[in-house]
Amino acid sequence: MTEMVYGTVPVRDVEPVLPKWWRTVDKWTISCVLMLFGIGLLLGLAASVPLAERNGFANFHYVQRQAFFGAMALVAMFITSMMSPTLVRRLAVLGFLVTLVALALLPVFGTDYGKGAVRWYSLGFASVQPSEFLKPGFVVAAAWLLAAGQEIGGPPGRLWSFALTVTIVLMLALQPDFGQACLVLFGWGVMYFIAGAPMLLLVILAGVVIAAGTLAYHNSEHFARRIDGFLNPDIDPTTQLGYATNAIREGGFFGVGVGEGQVKWSLPDAHTDFIIAVAAEEYGLVLVLCIIALYGIIVIRSFMRLMRERDPFIRLAGAGLAAMFGVQAMINMGVAVRLLPAKGMTLPFVSYGGSSLIAGGIAVGMLLAFTRSRPQGQIGDLLRGGR
C-alpha cells in the first residue's frame, strides 16, 4: 500500500564487496593467471640463476624480485577487478595520460641499458618501461572514444581514436620498439573491427602498415637486422634464436629433466624474452602446451563473457584487452620457435620483469572487472527489441 501511495522504494545493494566480487568474477581466468605466475616462478628458479651468478648476486636474486613484483601484480589485479567499469575507465584514462607524457619524455630522460632502444627509466633500484603501463590505459581510452562515437550526436570517436593510435605508434617506433607499436595497432584494429569498421577501410589500413614496415626496413638498421635474421634460412647457432631453437629441439616431448637444461647458461634473455625455450628444454612440449592452453582459456573465457555484455564501451575495452593479452603471448612464443622476427616482448606473468608483471596485473584486473556478471539481459534481447 505504501508503494501505491508514495511510489516504489529503490532497492539498495547491501551485499558486501568481497562476496559480490567472488560471485560475479570469472574464477577460471583468476585460476589460469595464478597457474601462469606459479609456472613463471618455477622456470625462474632455473633460468635466472646463471644471470645472477654473472652479475655477482645470490643465486635466487631474480626469483625473489620476480616473486615480489608478482605479488604486487596480483594485488593490483585483485583490487582493479573489484572496481566498477566506470571507475576503471576514469582511472585508466588518467593513467594513460600520465604514461603518455612519460613516453614522450623518454628521449630526454630514458636509457637503453645497452640494448639499442630507449625504452626505460632507471630508478637506481629498478627500471620502469612506460609502454607496458601505456597499453591497458590506451585500450580503455580508445574504447571510450569508439563507444562515444556510436552515440547519437556523439563526438567523432573513430577519428580521434585513430589519431591517438597513430601518435602512440609513431612514438613507440621512434624508440625503436616496433613490437609494442604493432601490438598497440593490433589492439586498436580489433576494437575498431568490433565497433563496425568497414572491411575496405581495414584492408587499406593493412596496406598502410605494410608500406610503413617497408619504409622502416630501408631506414632503420635495428628493424632491418631483425627482419634479415628472421628471413635468413640459416640460423647462427651462437645467436639467441639459435640457442632457443636448439633448446626446443633438445627438449622433445617430456624434456631433458628439471635443472638439466643448458640453454639458460647461454641465453642472456633466458629469464625474459626466451623463457619458453627454458620450459621446452627442461619440461618438454607437455609444459609448453599447458602454458598455451592457459592463455587460450583466459582469452576464450573473456570473449565468451563479453558476448553477453550490452554496454558498447565494456565490450570494446574488454575485447581489446583480451586480444592484446593473447597476442603478446603468441608473439613471445612465436619468436622463440622462429615463426616471427625477434620483438623483445615478454611472456605475460611468466617472464621476469617488474613493469611487465605489474602492468599485466592491472590489465587483467581491468579485464576481470569488465567481464564480471552484471544484472542484464542477453545481448540478443536488443536485436529482438527487448530492453
24-50, pLDDT tens digit by residue? 999 999 999 999 999 999 998 888 888
pLDDT at 188 over 50: yes
Task: Give the per-residue pLDDT at 7.
Answer: 46
Helices (H), the chain: 2-6, 17-24, 27-47, 49-54, 61-81, 85-104, 106-109, 130-149, 157-173, 178-194, 199-219, 221-231, 240-251, 275-306, 312-336, 354-370, 380-383
Contact 279, 288 (CB under 8 A): yes
Return the higher-pLDDT residue of 334 and 363: 363
Q: What is the pTM of this model?
A: 0.88
pLDDT at 382 over 60: no
Query: For residue 2, what is its C-alpha cell?
Result: 505504501
Q: Out of 86-90, 249-253, 302-306, 322-326, which region has the weakest mean confidence (pLDDT)?
A: 249-253
| Per-residue pLDDT tens digits for 51-102 | 888 888 888 888 999 999 999 999 999 999 999 999 999 999 999 999 999 9
Peptide bond into 136 cis (omega under 30): no
Return the higher-pLDDT residue of 150 and 299: 299
Site of grid cell 622476427: 341
CA distance 227 to 223: 6
Kindly state the average pLDDT of the residues 331-345.
83
CA distance 334 to 336: 5
pLDDT at 217 over 80: no
Backbone angles phi, psi at 377, to 5 degrees: -80, 175
CA distance 64 to 346: 18
Q: Out of 63-67, 178-182, 314-318, which region has the weakest mean confidence (pLDDT)?
A: 178-182
| Per-residue pLDDT tens digits for 220-248 | 776 777 777 667 766 666 677 777 888 88
